[in-house]
Amino acid sequence: MKPPHFDYVRPESLEEALDVLAEHGDEAKVLAGGQSLVPMLNMRLARPAVVVDVNRIGGLDGIAADNGVVNIGALARQSACERAEVVRLRLPLMAECLPHVGHYVTRNRGTVGGSIAHGDSKAELPLALVALGGSALVRGPAGERTVPSEELFVTHYTTSLEPVELLVATIWPAASSGWGSAFEELALRAGDYALALAACTLEVRAGRVSSARVALAGPSDRPLLCQASTLLVGEPVTSELAREVGAAAQTEVEPSEGVHASAAYVRHLVGLLVERVVARASRNATEGARD
């Protein structure tokens, strides 16, 4: 299929892009990597009046660590993050997720900011942002604001960004001593949407978990920060506790029956993936504390 008719605008500056968005509002769609938008246009799932290509805007593709966080510009390509040493060393959770994001060819064009702003409930990078407690830096007519990941994702393909706003960067808490993370997903084929995804970040002090975040994606309408995370705080992670957290996480999702897996299978899978990421994040935290 071919996309419906639309006007194409390629602004040279952030201010020009914001002016176009202010003029057209929800009739406009932003084009960054295009790995999600272009197929949606071709299938006519998206019918914007205007497509705003932001690729000529300078200064939005940086990847840099600063004051305990890693700032990633909205136009940073996923493949660039995959190669970046700062991501490998300071954001091991993102480094673990990235090879599962589509295929290498799509990661060459796909952007981190585009994946976050797209709000796909089955995507790896939104899940990682929630698991890390990161945030999005957003620019609009009223100025700049920071949106925590828990407030960013609303439902399928929907974020709390206003139509006149543009995501300009994402902010990711960096790993430190005593901190560990892990990611798991199960897809029928590499590059396919996963049936379920799970991630865990936690900090271990004196042999006990001082803070923890367990996040899920796949069966829910957005990346979900699990209440089961609280079971870890103040406890040493044992195989029994990891299994208990997995069982608790199962109760927080309501999978639907699918052509590839039953609801019961997906719920069982959620428990298994959470158990695995909790156990492995704990091991990584302990090993990191010894390094």
Residue 291 has pLDDT above 70, yes or no: no
pLDDT confidence of 24, banded at 50, 70, 90?
Answer: very high
| Cβ–Cβ < 8 Å for 182, 202 | no
**Mind giving me the DSSP string for 118-143?**
HT-TT-HHHHHHHHHT-EEEEEETTE
Q: Which of 139, 173, 207 is the last residue of a domain?
A: 173
Q: What is the pLDDT of residues 101-120, one digit of tens each?
A: 999 999 999 999 999 999 99
Nearest to 184 by CA among 217, 152, 157, 148: 217
Q: Which of 124, 156, 173 is the last residue of a domain?
A: 173
For the residues 173-186, what does the mean pLDDT come to? 96
Domain of residue 45 covers 7-53
Amino acid identity, residue 217?
A: A
Residue 150 has pLDDT above 90, yes or no: yes
CATH label of the domain that carries residue 22: 3.30.43.10
- 16 and 76 belong to one structural domain: no
pLDDT confidence of 28, banded at 50, 70, 90?
Answer: very high
| CA–CA distance, 201 with 213 (Å, rounded to integer) | 5
Question: Alpha helices, DSSP H only, in the chain?
Answer: 14-24, 37-42, 78-83, 85-90, 92-97, 104-109, 112-118, 124-132, 149-152, 239-250, 263-290
Note the residue count of the chain.
291
Residue 289 has pLDDT above 70, yes or no: no
Residue-level pLDDT at 2: 83
| CA–CA distance, 267 with 173 (Å, rounded to integer) | 30
State CA 64 to chain mean position distance: 18
Q: Between β-strands 7-9 and 50-53, what pairing exists: parallel, antiparallel or unpaired?
A: parallel
Per the domain annotation, does 2 fall within a domain? Answer: no
Per the domain annotation, does 198 fall within a domain? Answer: yes
For the residues 148-167, what does the mean pLDDT come to? 97
pLDDT confidence of 288, banded at 50, 70, 90?
Answer: low
Write down the pTM of the prediction: 0.95
Per the domain annotation, does 1 fall within a domain? Answer: no
